[in-house]
A and B are shown apart, each in its own frame.
Chain A
Amino acid sequence: KQEVTQIPAALSVPEGENLVLNCSFTDSAIYNLQWFRQDPGKGLTSLLLIQSSQREQTSGRLNASLDKSSGRSTLYIAASQPGDSATYLCAVVGDKIIFGKGTRLHILP
């Protein structure tokens, strides 16, 4: 059974810092991995989707990597801004879609 873990559950960093969010999974037989952002009281917004054959994807200040063999993905946020404060969730797609519980990120002005 696929298990998806995101550590830490919460993170506070000063504005301007680069940061890395982690997502680990137990079964490497996946089709893709997706990163989402969720603002309080809102739905999820898709950030990046990495196909199983890819190693990374980039969008603006965001870069997501995927290492299937080690069961890990990271979301790198460059030059963090207060507007980046949100909960970040990863979802692993195999025969099912399994979400992690998220990392709540707070960027300190």
Chain B
Amino acid sequence: DAGITQSPRYKITETGRQVTLMCHQTWSHSYMFWYRQDLGHGLRLIYYSAAADITDKGEVPDGYVVSRSKTENFPLTLESATRSQTSVYFCASSEPGLLYNEQFFGPGTRLTVL
């Protein structure tokens, strides 16, 4: 199906473990984004990518790593998970042009770090 998908939808892990959240889009959108959503903070941008092999930091990048070897995939890795990274993570994509054109969001991944 066309659209933007995230996996897993739910994940429980322990402090110190590495976790990778996957994001896949079928529109061939140039831009892709990772956000986290926390009560009291709203949505905050972690990383974004303008094209394959081009990534840049957002507002809260510490503790996260991204890569984009293919246009359609934009995985987010927590190298050593901490409890403060418990959150709901959203991936989004948008068409080329202005960086923040209309964005299309995935369903989210709820991550719990114990």
Chain A residues with CB under 8 Å of chain B are 31-32, 34, 36, 41-46, 49, 89, 91, 93, 96-97, 99-102
Contact = CB atoms under 8 A, between A and B. Distances in A.
Determine the main DSSP class of A at the interface with B.
strand
A66 to B, nearest CB: 15
7 closest residue pairs by CB, A with B: A43-B105, A93-B100, A99-B43, A44-B105, A101-B42, A99-B42, A43-B107
Contacts of A97: 45, 100
Nearest to A96: B59
A96 B57 CA distance: 11
A44 B90 contact: yes
23 contacts: A32-B100, A34-B100, A43-B90, A43-B92, A43-B105, A43-B107, A43-B108, A44-B90, A44-B92, A44-B105, A46-B103, A46-B104, A49-B102, A89-B43, A96-B45, A96-B58, A97-B45, A97-B100, A99-B42, A99-B44, A101-B40, A101-B41, A102-B42
A106 B25 CA distance: 32
A19 B103 CA distance: 25
A40 to B, nearest CB: 11
A43 B23 CA distance: 13
Interface in B33-49: 40-45
Interface of B: 40-45, 58-59, 90, 92, 98-108
Nearest to A42: B107
Contacts of B99: 93
Given A42-B108, A43-B107, A43-B108, A34 B102 contact: yes
A31 B98 contact: yes
Contacts of B41: 101
B111 to A, nearest CB: 14
A43 B104 CA distance: 9
Given A46-B103, A91-B43, 8 more contacts: A32-B98, A34-B100, A41-B108, A42-B108, A43-B92, A43-B106, A44-B92, A99-B43
